[in-house]
Amino acid sequence: MPTDNIKVLIISTGGTISMVKDNDTGALRPADFSEFRSFLPELEHTNLTVEMYPVTPSIDSSNVNPGLWKNLAQTIYEQYDEYDGFVVLHGTDTMAYSASALSFMLENLQKPIVFTGSQLPIGVFRSDARENLQTAIEIAAAQDEDGNPIVPEVTIFFEDRLFRGNRTTKKNAEHFDAFCSYNYPPLAKAGVHIHYFPHLVFYSDTKQPLKLHTLIDSNVAILKIFPGISHRMVKAILNIRGLRAVVLETYGTGNAPTDKWLFEDIKAAVERGVIIVNKTQCVAGSVEMGRYETSLNLLQAGVLSGHDITTEALVTKLMFLLGGAEDTEMVKLLLSQSICGEMTID
């Protein structure tokens, strides 16, 4: 625990973690801050000042859209100098998308933003909410001996591990151990002590002030390849009006059928300016375009490699780049680079 008074802002967007059972009706409803405090009596005995900012209306994260990301990013940007760290309470269903989006929208981040949620509401017996929230607060407040934040990036804390937000995927709808980062190790593990792994943390290499990006273009589609996929379906997706980018979910190391029509349709879309990125359907491992004949044709059609990025990070990276970058060539260049630790480039 740090020694000086550390200020943490909890931004509540909704989700299961923010729910309590209404004593009169028995139904779940969003808790207000005083109710939240009552679940965290130990906070009084720490050197932390914890304040709360509710984003209204409180939503199930299935209703999250780029508007919420803008609101969240803007709120953190405005409160940035006031607090040492931020905790975002968020539903688990789309938490990995929101954490990924924020990692791109807040450039030069030097403070922790820890997303957390829970599988059971904070106000019910046996809930995982209290532990997740308490540890998330401690991580958001954690500083080294020189007063520097230990994990100054956008992360997700769940159950007992801290993951980089843009590497994380929800893997389980039932277990408390609901998230995983398949292609990047955890940044910290929490047991009796919290063990941090600073050599794995992404430190923004500049001391430039925080920069807010709120331009998002959601003209992005996901096209998942499966045995028997029809020409008609592929054609319909690739010809959506206004489409600017496609996440092409392929097999294994980035493979797809070698049908001539698939090659020709993809090539034609690329020539029209649609950006197509190859993302493996496997949860772990990386795309290796050209390893097999079945991905060489994609390479020849102009498809880009998504390396080992998650679908959540790729969708939000595309939306962010399309919203802000000057032209398609610049978007393609930035897609080939890791902006804030979202993929491994060999």
Active site residues per annotation? 16
Q: Is 30 in the site for ligand ASP (CB under 6 A)?
A: no
Indicate which single residue of 93, 107, 177, 288 sits in contact with ligand ASP (rule: CB under 6 A).
93
Q: Are strands 48-59 and 85-89 parallel, antiparallel or unpaired?
A: unpaired
Residues 6 or more apart in contact with residue 144 via CB below 8 angstroms = 150
- Contact, 136 vs 85, CB < 8 A? no
Question: Residue 40 has which token pair?
Answer: 């965290």
Q: How far apart are CA 179 and CA 198, in angstroms?
A: 21
Indicate which single residue of 12, 61, 98, 311 sits in contact with ligand ASP (rule: CB under 6 A).
61
Q: Quick one: which of 149, 146, 147, 139 has its CA closest to 195?
A: 139
Q: State the nearest-atom distance from the C-beta of 61 to ligand ASP, in Å.
A: 3
Q: How far apart are CA 11 and CA 58, in angstroms?
A: 11
Total residues at interface with ligand ASP (CB under 6 A):
10
Task: Identify which of residues 13 and 250 has a Cβ nearer to ligand ASP in the complex.
Answer: 13
Task: Identify which of residues 16 and 310 has a Cβ nearer to ligand ASP in the complex.
Answer: 16
Q: Kindly indicate which of the ranges 41-49, 89-97, 143-151, 290-298 contains the residues binding ligand ASP, using the contact rule CB under 6 A.
A: 89-97
Q: State the nearest-atom distance from the C-beta of 253 to ligand ASP, in Å.
A: 32
Task: Identify which of residues 116 and 280 has a Cβ nearer to ligand ASP in the complex.
Answer: 116
Q: State the nearest-atom distance from the C-beta of 219 to ligand ASP, in Å.
A: 25
Site for ligand ASP in 108-147 (CB under 6 A): 117, 119
Q: Is 91 in the site for ligand ASP (CB under 6 A)?
A: yes
Backbone angles phi, psi at 144, to 5 degrees: -85, -175
Residue 26, burial from CB neighbour count under 10 angstroms (0-12, 13-18, 19+): exposed
Q: State the nearest-atom distance from the C-beta of 40 to ligand ASP, in Å.
A: 19
Task: Identify which of residues 15 and 149 has a Cβ nearer to ligand ASP in the complex.
Answer: 15
Q: Is 107 in the site for ligand ASP (CB under 6 A)?
A: no
- Contact, 149 vs 46, CB < 8 A? no
Q: Kindly indicate which of the ranges 46-54, 56-64, 186-194, 208-216 contains the residues binding ligand ASP, using the contact rule CB under 6 A.
A: 56-64
Q: Kindly indicate which of the ranges 54-62, 104-112, 141-149, 213-221 contains the residues binding ligand ASP, using the contact rule CB under 6 A.
A: 54-62
Q: Kindly indicate which of the ranges 4-12, 40-48, 57-65, 134-142 contains the residues binding ligand ASP, using the contact rule CB under 6 A.
A: 57-65
Indicate which single residue of 6, 9, 11, 16 sits in contact with ligand ASP (rule: CB under 6 A).
16
Q: Is 169 in the site for ligand ASP (CB under 6 A)?
A: no
Residue 144, burial from CB neighbour count under 10 angstroms (0-12, 13-18, 19+): exposed
Q: What is the DSSP string of 54-102?
A: EEEEEE-GGG--HHHHHHHHHHHHHHTTT-SEEEEE--STTHHHHHHHH
Q: How far apart are CA 154 and CA 12, in angstroms?
A: 16
Q: Is 62 in the site for ligand ASP (CB under 6 A)?
A: yes
Which residue in the block uniquely carries the two structure tokens 């299935």?
62
Q: Kindly indicate which of the ranges 87-95, 243-251, 300-308, 310-318 contains the residues binding ligand ASP, using the contact rule CB under 6 A.
A: 87-95
Omega before 30 cis (within 30°)? no
Residue ranges in contact with ligand ASP by CB under 6 A: 15-16, 60-62, 91-93, 117, 119
